[in-house]
């Protein structure tokens, strides 16, 4: 089967979060299963392209605006074909989605161009059997296919599988965007893209794609509730029979202490001595005293946002500093949470350190060098860091939500089973008590090693998830063919 991934980001070309990791790894796993896969991304500033093979596309963005972006054939990575949509006026910018003043005002045009470009790419360059689109930035692909391109035989029978990586990001704009991006007025309706008087790109993707997926089973259920649905829970429930939760995998060729080239020493369950060397290295890199080798080191790698539960951390900051632990944090985001970590570091400079940045090498060092990994998320569609942590023997402390619930087995001293520690109630006190439980078990080395070993043996590779996606693509293709076949021509049992 020929599968075209359309995404606003994907490694090795662009990344702000877990979406890029998925778009980097899942296509490779599908190729291993025998499928032919291409990935279409915007060409952002600084994208590495060794050999540029260009082909211009005609993209009629609106009634008054036709654009001529180029398709850059960026070559092959692990037998996956990568193409970049090259439109410098739209994508050659310092950041992907916005700057310090907020989102770029022309984001609707930017990602409408990507969506139209994907369809024109399918017409003019490489015709897939199925589109796999990701998040609101590509939600216009199904919306355009079922409206503007509905009578175009070159593409109108191509099904769309649409993955929700995070329902909180919806691409909601003023109604005038409809005209600006060339969508028909008929889509601005309750059963279309209208959303409380605004236009929602994501809603169009949810309603007009053939099948929907989320990145964990629990999140697929959660987004059908008012607590997690962000106003779209009724739409999700309406499409529930076409929704599947497929857990993200991880790339163990990159995230495994047996092969990781970014950490101080390699290690495995057979010999954990290298983990202590990684802990020493992490403390040095973060500027913390070697005295902390005797303490449990709690690691955080995250966007600093409300979603990630840092309001809970702020609630119990005083109590946290009274515990005999060291804390290292890496990330950026909300100024209030960046300041929270800076304040903690200023109050306990011998035990707390933060780097406000994106630093992939340091992320690896934290995964390998920390003893505990903290993810107290308000909601977490899947999460990858807790899965990385398992493989590195860094015991996760998480809130039981979304993918965290699906991937971490709570430690049970009675049965001797478990891979981490979980709390359910979204309060600072629940977080603190859960962390204290982990700290208490850390002081029992034999028990702690058992938890580490069990976690390091878990397998969350992409193979099973890729197989599930392949089956869904086939279902989508068959359903689209059946829908296009006149009833008189269908064979009935």
Q: What is the pLDDT at residue 492?
A: 41
User: For residue 38, what are the β-bridge partners?
Assistant: 4, 81
**What pLDDT is attached to residue 63?**
58
> What is the tens place of the pLDDT at every residue in 94-129?
999 998 889 999 999 999 999 999 999 999 899 999
Residue 321 CB-density burial (10 A; 0-12 exposed, 13-18 middle, 19+ buried): middle
Position 124 in a domain: yes
Q: Tell me, what's the pLDDT at 488?
A: 47
Residues (pLDDT < 70) of the chain are 50-54, 61-66, 485-493
How many Cα atoms within 13 Å fall on the side-chain side of residue 445?
3
Is residue 366 located within the same domain as residue 226?
no
pLDDT tens across 197-206, in order? 999 999 999 9
Which range of residues forms the domain containing residue 315? 273-456
Residues 212, 358 within the same domain: no
Q: Which residue has the tokens 């092969």?
A: 259
- The structure tokens listed for 289 are 């005293």
Can you give the CATH number for the domain in which 287 is found?
Answer: 3.40.50.2000
Q: What is the pLDDT of residue 61?
A: 67
- Whether 472 and 213 have beta carbons less than 8 Å apart is answered as yes
Look at residue 51 in the predicted model and tell me its pLDDT.
59
Q: Do 215 and 295 lie in a common domain? A: no
Q: Are residues 175 and 285 in the same domain?
A: no
Verify that 94 and 53 share a domain, yes or no. Answer: yes
pLDDT of residue 453: 97
Task: For the full predicted model, state whether its pTM sits above 0.85.
Answer: yes
Count of structural domains, the chain? 2
What span, in angstroms and rounded, lies between the C-alpha atoms of 440 and 443?
5
Pair 158, 111 in one domain: yes
Which residue reads 């008054």 in tokens?
Answer: 64
Residues 152, 289, single domain; the answer is no
Same domain, 390 and 476: no
Residues 353 and 304 in one domain: yes
C-alpha span between 21 and 301 (Å, rounded): 15
According to the model, what pLDDT value does residue 358 have?
85
Burial of 356 (0-12, 13-18, 19+ CB in 10 A): middle
Contacts of 153 (CB under 8 A, 6+ apart): none
Q: What is the pLDDT of residue 493?
A: 33
User: How many Å apart are CA 69 and CA 279, to the nearest integer?
Assistant: 48
Per-residue pLDDT, 486: 61
Same-domain status, 390 and 475: no
Pick from 434, 421, 362: nearest CA to 395: 421
- Residue 342 inside a domain? The answer is yes
Instruction: Determine the pLDDT at residue 490.
Output: 46
Question: Are residue 278 and residue 424 in the same domain, yes or no?
Answer: yes
- 468 and 444 in a common domain: no
């Amino acid at each position: 089967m020929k599968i075209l991934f359309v995404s606003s980001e994907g490694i090795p070309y662009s990344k702000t979060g877990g979406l890029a990791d998925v778009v980097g790894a899942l296509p490779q796993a599908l190729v291993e299963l025998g499928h032919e896969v291409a990935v279409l991304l915007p060409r952002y500033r600084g994208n590495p392209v060794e050999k540029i093979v260009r082909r211009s596309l005609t993209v009629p963005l609106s009634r008054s605006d036709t654009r001529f972006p180029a398709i850059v054939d960026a070559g092959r990575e692990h037998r996956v074909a990568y193409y970049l949509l090259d439109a410098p006026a739209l994508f050659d910018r310092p950041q992907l989605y916005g700057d310090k003043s907020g989102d770029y005002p022309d984001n609707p045009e930017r990602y409408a161009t990507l969506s139209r470009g994907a369809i024109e790419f399918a017409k003019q360059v490489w015709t897939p059997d199925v589109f796999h689109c990701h998040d609101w930035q590509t939600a216009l692909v199904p919306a355009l296919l079922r409206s503007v391109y509905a009578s175009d035989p070159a593409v109108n029978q191509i099904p769309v599988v649409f993955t929700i990586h995070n329902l909180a990001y919806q691409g909601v704009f003023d109604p005038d965007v409809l005209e600006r991006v060339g969508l028909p007025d008929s889509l601005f309706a309750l059963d279309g893209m209208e959303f409380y008087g605004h236009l929602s790109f994501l809603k169009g993707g949810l309603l007009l794609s053939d099948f929907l997926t989320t990145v964990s089973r629990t999140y697929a259920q959660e987004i059908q509730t008012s607590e997690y649905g962000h106003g779209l829970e009724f739409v999700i429930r309406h499409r529930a029979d076409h929704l599947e939760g497929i857990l993200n995998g991880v790339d163990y060729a990159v995230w495994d202490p047996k092969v990781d080239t970014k950490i101080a020493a390699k290690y495995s369950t057979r010999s954990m001595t290298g983990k202590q060397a990684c802990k020493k290295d992490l403390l040095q890199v973060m500027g913390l005293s070697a005295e902390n080798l005797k303490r449990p080191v709690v690691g955080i790698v995250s966007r600093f946002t409300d979603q990630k539960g840092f309001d809970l951390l702020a609630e119990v900051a005083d109590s946290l500093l009274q515990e005999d632990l060291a804390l290292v944090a890496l990330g950026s985001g909300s100024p209030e949470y960046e300041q929270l970590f800076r304040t903690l570091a200023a109050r306990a400079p011998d035990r707390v350190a933060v780097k406000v940045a994106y630093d992939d090498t340091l992320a690896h060092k934290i995964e390998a060098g920390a003893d505990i990994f903290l993810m107290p998320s308000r909601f977490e569609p899947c999460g990858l860091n807790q899965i990385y942590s398992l493989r590195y023997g860094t015991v996760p402390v998480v809130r039981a939500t979304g993918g965290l619930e699906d991937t971490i087995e709570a430690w049970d001293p009675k049965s001797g089973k478990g891979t981490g520690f979980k709390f359910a109630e979204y309060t600072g006190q629940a977080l603190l008590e859960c962390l204290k439980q982990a700290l208490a078990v850390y002081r029992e080395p034999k028990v702690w090693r058992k938890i580490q070993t069990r976690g390091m043996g878990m397998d969350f590779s992409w193979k099973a998830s890729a197989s599930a996606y392949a089956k869904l693509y086939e279902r989508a293709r068959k359903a689209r063919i059946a829908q296009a076949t006149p009833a008189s021509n269908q064979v009935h049992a």
